[in-house]
């Protein structure tokens, strides 16, 4: 199968997502914010983001930036429980031993067309290689919420957050892990935002750039390096817990 990657303007994103929902097919693999350069960032502060409060914020990669020339997002969604699925496995390397009890993925969606189904799974793998899944070292779930966290033109971005997982995940200092929070939706598609090289509001551990794999059976991607699909050296995720 020939793999086709689409990078679209915001207007094209909205029309394609609507058409894909009506037709029952999956949306494009990537969605660009290039046409929203200079757009308002929305309701964000220069302090800790609301989903990563200082008392338990282990790590936040930082905010997406619609003015960044490489602004892009990667399909990370389980649409209608398997009709279309894409997973971004994002690399993290803790500065300390830690116990993860919550997580957030900041995703681009169409305004007013995003409905979450719970419970929402969260998993951690180690040892992922191109074309090969890693070993799952933690698999848990929780009730996710979707709250607006900024906007780019007509497209809202949501912080999709599991505040408390059903069971915690333990991470060791200096070890490379790949994490995925996979929202299940029955209306609208979710795209995980990338962040620029020097993102605003980065908190906690150092960003472990260029460690990300993408898996999507429908698009014929089998644990491909995320950078094969665009500028995905780092993505907008957060982990909460204790260290």
Per-residue pLDDT of 50-84, as tens digits, reads: 999 999 999 999 999 888 899 999 999 998 777 78
pLDDT for 50: 95
Q: Is the pLDDT of residue 19 over 50?
A: no
Structural domain includes residue 164: yes
Reported as a single tens digit per residue, the pLDDT across 120-166 is 999 999 999 999 999 999 999 999 999 989 765 556 789 999 999 99
Q: pTM value?
A: 0.85
Q: Per-residue pLDDT averaged across 40-56, rounded?
A: 72
pLDDT for 46: 55
pLDDT for 161: 98
Of 117-121, 156-160, 229-233, which range is least confident? 156-160
Structural domain includes residue 226: yes
24 or 215, which is more confident = 215
Longest dimension (CA), the chain: 48
Contact 234, 209 (CB under 8 A): yes
Instruction: Show Cβ contacts of residue 210 under 8 Å, excluding neighbours closer than 6 positions.
Output: 91, 227, 233, 234
Q: Which residues share a beta bridge with 90?
A: 179, 212
Contact 147, 83 (CB under 8 A): no
Q: Which residues share a beta bridge with 139?
A: 123
Of 27-41, 100-114, 134-148, which range is least confident? 27-41
pLDDT for 191: 93
Structural domain includes residue 2: no
Structural domain includes residue 4: no
pLDDT for 8: 35
Q: Is the pLDDT of residue 5 over 80?
A: no
Tokens 């817990």 locate to 241
Contact 207, 91 (CB under 8 A): no
Nearest CA to 17 out of 9, 28, 6 is that of: 28
Q: Per-residue pLDDT averaged across 22-45, rounded?
A: 45
Tokens 């699909």 locate to 229
| Domain span at 127 | 10-242
- For the chain, the domain total comes to 1
What gap in Å lies between CA 149 and CA 145, rounded to an integer?
A: 12
């Amino acid at each position: 199968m020939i793999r086709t990657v689409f990078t679209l303007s915001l207007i094209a994103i909205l029309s394609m997502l609507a058409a894909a929902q009506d037709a029952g097919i999956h949306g494009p693999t990537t969605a660009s914010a290039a046409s929203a350069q200079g757009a308002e960032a929305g309701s964000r502060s220069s302090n800790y983001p609301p989903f990563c409060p200082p008392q338990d914020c282990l790590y936040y990669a930082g905010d997406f930036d619609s003015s960044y020339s490489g602004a892009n997002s990667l399909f990370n969604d389980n649409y209608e429980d398997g009709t279309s699925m894409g997973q971004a496995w994002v690399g993290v390397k803790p500065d300390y031993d830690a116990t993860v009890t919550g997580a957030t993925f900041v995703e681009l969606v169409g305004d007013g067309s995003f409905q979450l189904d719970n419970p929402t799974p969260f998993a951690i793998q180690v040892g992922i290689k191109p074309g090969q899944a890693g070993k799952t070292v933690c698999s848990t779930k929780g009730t996710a919420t979707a709250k607006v966290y900024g906007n780019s033109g007509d497209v809202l971005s949501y912080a999709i957050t599991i505040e408390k997982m059903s069971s915690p995940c333990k991470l060791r200092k200096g070890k490379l892990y790949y994490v995925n929070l996979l929202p299940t939706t029955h209306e609208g598609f979710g795209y995980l935002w990338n962040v620029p090289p020097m993102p605003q509001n980065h908190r906690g551990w150092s960003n472990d750039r260029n460690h990300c794999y993408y898996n999507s059976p429908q698009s014929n991607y089998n644990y491909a390096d995320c950078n094969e699909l665009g500028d995905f050296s780092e993505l907008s995720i957060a982990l909460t817990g204790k260290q």
